[in-house]
Chain A
Amino acid sequence: MRQNPLVHKRRGLRLLGVIVLLLPVLFLGLFFFYPLANIFRLSITAAAFYDLAQRPYFRSILWFTFWQAGLSTLLTLLAGLPAAYLFAHYDFRGRSLLKALTTIPFVMPTVVVAAAFRALLGANGPINQSLVGLFDLSRAPLQLEQTLTMILLAHVFYNVAVVVRLVGGFWANLNPRVVEAARVLGASPWRAFREITLPLLRPSLVSAALLIYLFTFTSFGVILILGGPQFSTLETEIYRQYVTFLRPDIAALLALLQIIFTFALMSVYARWQQHTAVSLDFRPQQTNLRRPQTRLEKTAVAALIAGLGLFLLSPLAALVWRSLVDRDGQFTLAYYQALPQLRRGSVIFVPPLTAVRNSIGYALLTVLLAGLLGVLTTTVLVRPSRWRNWLDPLFMLPLGASAVTLGFGYVVTFDRLRTSPLLVLIAHTLVAFPFVVRSLMPVLLGIKPSLREAAAVLGASPARVWREVDLPIMGRALLVAAVFAFTVSMGEFGATSFIVRPNSGYLTLPIAIQRYLGQPGALNFGQAMAMSTILMLVCAVGFIAIERFRYADVGEF
């Protein structure tokens, strides 16, 4: 038997694989687990425990964090269910457009949503002004600034897409004959809904509720900007304890609590997903759709469409509008024209336009870095190996830790880098990384193994297989991932608010907006509106790109 010359050493290939795997692991280790560990190390001080246990203030914060999330979730479900019903059952003109609209808030940065609600419902906002004009009032009738109502509204606005996508998608796939059977057997519409539809919808309802609870539990920007000093949740309190009260030990202990709660919630969610992921027969959604028939139906559908459209668009429209009119309601471009100027007494130390430029720069670099790490990670993760079982959850962990905790971990860990823009970039990359992985994984997992085998049999080396099969098929998903990374970086607020000081030349657009919103004066407010509008437009364009490139309708959040 002759030795075959074609047998090549595979050691070089092994090594390449190890490097490919090691790079993301090292990155995560250094910039996620290490700062997290540092928080734990710091939080172990007796004084922090003592203070936290002693002062009822912290107990009320904890309590508020829980119940505001619960209330937000409940309200979102109530607001989202009619919309979910609408999309699951009716075909009407502009359906896909409206459906896309519901997702827009979801991709909006928190500062933009906060700014939009201030624009819409503020004392000088269009609603108050028209009420004043209509009823000839002396002062604004709706005093919603810095109220819980405002926070709850923003939370509902933010998360209604979750209900529409998850519950609506599920609802559309329920067999309508089941409800008809119940009706034939004598159930009233309400009875049929309560006894048939609702129990059948339960898996999706619970999924949506858990997800919304998780999101509102960790809500930071909305509460910080809309709530003002009298409302504090775990997230905002971490920020305040560190920035305002200079108590990093208490902040660390709160961050620890925060991590425990989010991971608990996430594991409940993951369990629930596993439990319900069985036997969902996805039929094409078109089959159950019909046009509204009776007059009552038509009116109801029209009202739903109008209400939903108004709810989704009015805050964003108000934002644009208020960036374009002055105090007296006259059209002006002054707020935009002032963006390149460094005003005397400005709350930031560079012209606002620099913040815009910074943000775009960070976002582009984040796309590169998060994209590279994401591609490396998914390439390893989709191939069956003994590593995969414990690597998969490892790479998803950053999704669970809040951005605030991350930013806090960075400032206590990388003291030397504090003034470096590098830290901002790394934080943005880490926040965007799970989104990239989530966009790529389903597509890569969907590639039949035989496709790679066929290429290999035809003579493609493993690297060539990746280039010829994985990469082109991944192409569109890669674009989605890139846009995700871009918009996430553009809007990132929680982590950046720790890392970048407002007096830094490297500050980002959301930080500048938050600073301007916190200051009195029409010009400050107007410029905050102008910057928010720019940010909103960038994210909206990104969102449209995602919708166009996406493969499946039901995306993973």
Chain B
Amino acid sequence: MLDLHAIQKSFDDTAVLRSISLSVAAGEIVALLGPSGCGKTTLLRIIAGLETADGGEVLLDGVDVTAVPVHRRGFGMVFQDYALFPHKNVAENVVFGLRMQEWPPEKVDGRAAQVLELVGLAGFAERAIHELSGGEQQRVALARALAPAPRLLLLDEPLGALDRALRERLMLDLRAILKQAGGLVGRPEGITAVYVTHDQAEAFAIADRVVVMNAGHIEQVGRPTELYRRPATAFVARFLGMDNILPAAPLSADPPLAQTPLGPLAYTAPHPHTPTPAHPLTHSPAHLLIRPEAARLLPPGEEGENVVHGRVQDCSFRGRYQIVTVLVAGEDGEGETAVSLKLEFDSDEHLPDVGQPVQLSLDPRAIYRLE
């Protein structure tokens, strides 16, 4: 439905977007996820028509809209600060887009009520904006964007201005509303939305597909589960909060074996279907990701794959499992190259006390290569 072709953008000779290409299917919620300054908001504003790309095209249902001014695109947008009109009340905000599109007046009120109902603000129509809480304002902003049945909904960190607890709650609400809104905008397949956020939990909770961006390019595109199971790059793994990322030099491809600070480790070759987009600028040396569940306690004298010797540094109880930090002396035996691994064990597994040596085997099926 939405196709971006080689979008480029620079501000004052600083490249913000380096040839971004992306397709969004009808009815799909796609999250642009990345740290601040990665270009995700700029990309969203280019889609909206609020910024002009230096190069590339924005296609909507196969039609080039790159040169269409913002007010003729028929999109909806929820801004980070909501941008509610302070001189208009809730209903007046919601019907603004309808008035711009010259809806017949007799339909306008019903529509406003319908949309406010959807976002759970029935009865708020006459309220002034400054009387609303942050969460309510956020819903009004959503209602205003949805009211004119936009072809595409753009959301720029819509929960960014709210506190943590409220955000957790609204995340689930937001996805439910967006999935229900398909009927409202006359699209049985559901509303098509692009959602910008820097919060991975938010992206995972709301989006069908997540686009991880870094320094103006796309690192990886995938469904939340794919991203979580098989991060393609070290950046994605780190950004998703994963530990145990080790630099690695390939020793052999078959069987996959790489040299790491822990010594040679066997790992699982990348799945042929895992998308690893090209990103010429940060072609970093390869890394290995050791998943926390990879470790198995190795009784003394027993043989195993990927054996490492370390010392229990810390142990933290988390209910059904425990997180154990193991300090493994570097390959050269020096303290400086020591690596600390965060590993998960069942709670009933008995580990040596803190400070005691421990012997582990790391399952190659839970060790992946990252670009």
Instruction: Give the number of residue pairs across the A-B interface with Cβ within 8 Å.
Output: 95
A259 at the interface (CB under 8 A from B): no
B127 within 8 A of A: no
A517 to chain B, nearest CB (A): 47
The residue that A10 contacts in the complex, of B69, B77, B154, with Cβ under 8 A, is: B69
* Total chain A interface residues with beta-carbon distance under 8 A: 28
**Distance of A457 from chain B, by nearest CB (Å):** 4
Q: Does B100 contact A (CB under 8 A)?
A: yes
What are the residues of chain B within 8 A of A448 when measuring CB–CB? 81, 83
- The reply to whether A454 and B100 contact each other, CB–CB distance below 8 Å, is no
Given the known interface contacts A459-B97, A461-B71, the answer about A453 and B83 at a Cβ–Cβ threshold of 8 Å is yes
The reply to whether B81 and A458 form a contact with Cβ atoms under 8 Å apart is no
User: Do B77 and A457 have beta carbons less than 8 Å apart?
Assistant: yes
In the complex the two chains form, what is the Cα distance from A454 to B101 in whole Å?
Answer: 14
Structural contact, B85 and A4, CB atoms closer than 8 A = no
- Counting chain B CB atoms within 10 Å of each CB, the highest count among A10, A454, A462 belongs to A454
Q: Which of B113-164 contact A (CB under 8 A)?
A: 144-145, 148, 154
CA distance A4 to B64 in the complex (A): 6
Report B-chain residues with C-beta under 8 Å of the C-beta of A310: none
B interface, over-half SS: loop
Residue B50, interface by CB 8 Å: yes
Known contacts A450-B79, A453-B83, A473-B86; is-contact A458 B65 (Cβ 8 Å): no
* A residues 1-59 touching B (CB-CB < 8 Å): 1-4, 6-8, 10
| C-alpha gap A469/B83 in the complex (Å) | 11
List which B91-127 residues lie within 8 A (CB) of chain A: 96-97, 100-101
**Residues in chain A near residue B85, CB distance under 8 A:** 451, 454-455, 468-469
Query: Contact between A453 and B79 (Cβ–Cβ < 8 Å)?
Result: yes
Whether A458 contacts B148 by the Cβ 8 Å rule is: yes
Residues in B269-324 with C-beta less than 8 Å from chain A:
none
| B101 / chain A contacts, CB cutoff of 8 Å | 459
Known A448-B81, A453-B50, A454-B77; contact A4-B96, beta-carbon cutoff 8 A: no
- Give Cα A469–Cα B87 distance, bound, in whole angstroms: 8
Does A229 touch B at the CB level, under 8 Å? no
Give B69 Cβ to nearest chain A Cβ, in Å.
Answer: 7
Type the 1/0 row for A463-498, where 1 means its CB is closer than 8 Å to any CB of B.
011001100110100000000000000000000000
A460 within 8 Å of B (CB atoms): yes
Q: Which A residues lie within 8 Å of B68 (CB)?
A: 4, 6-7
**Given known A-B contacts A4-B63, A4-B64, A469-B85, A456 and B96 have beta carbons under 8 A apart:** no
Tell me which of B59, B71, B80 contacts A1 (CB under 8 A). Answer: B59
Contact assessment for A456 and B70 in the assembled complex, using a CB-CB cutoff below 8 Å: yes
B71:A457 contact, CB within 8 angstroms: yes
Nearest chain A CB to B5 CB, angstrom units: 10
B101, chain A: closest CB distance, angstroms? 5
Residues of B within 8 A of A460 (CB): 71, 96, 100
B216: interface (CB < 8 Å): no
Are A459 and B63 within 8 A (Cβ)?
Answer: no
Given contacts A2-B62, A458-B97, A468-B96, contact A450 B69 (CB under 8 A): no
Q: Does B224 contact A (CB under 8 A)?
A: no
Bits for A510-534, please: 1 = Cβ < 8 Å to B, else 0.
Answer: 0000000000000000000000000
8 of the cross-chain contacts (CB-CB < 8 Å) are: A4-B68, A454-B79, A457-B50, A457-B70, A458-B100, A459-B71, A462-B71, A473-B86
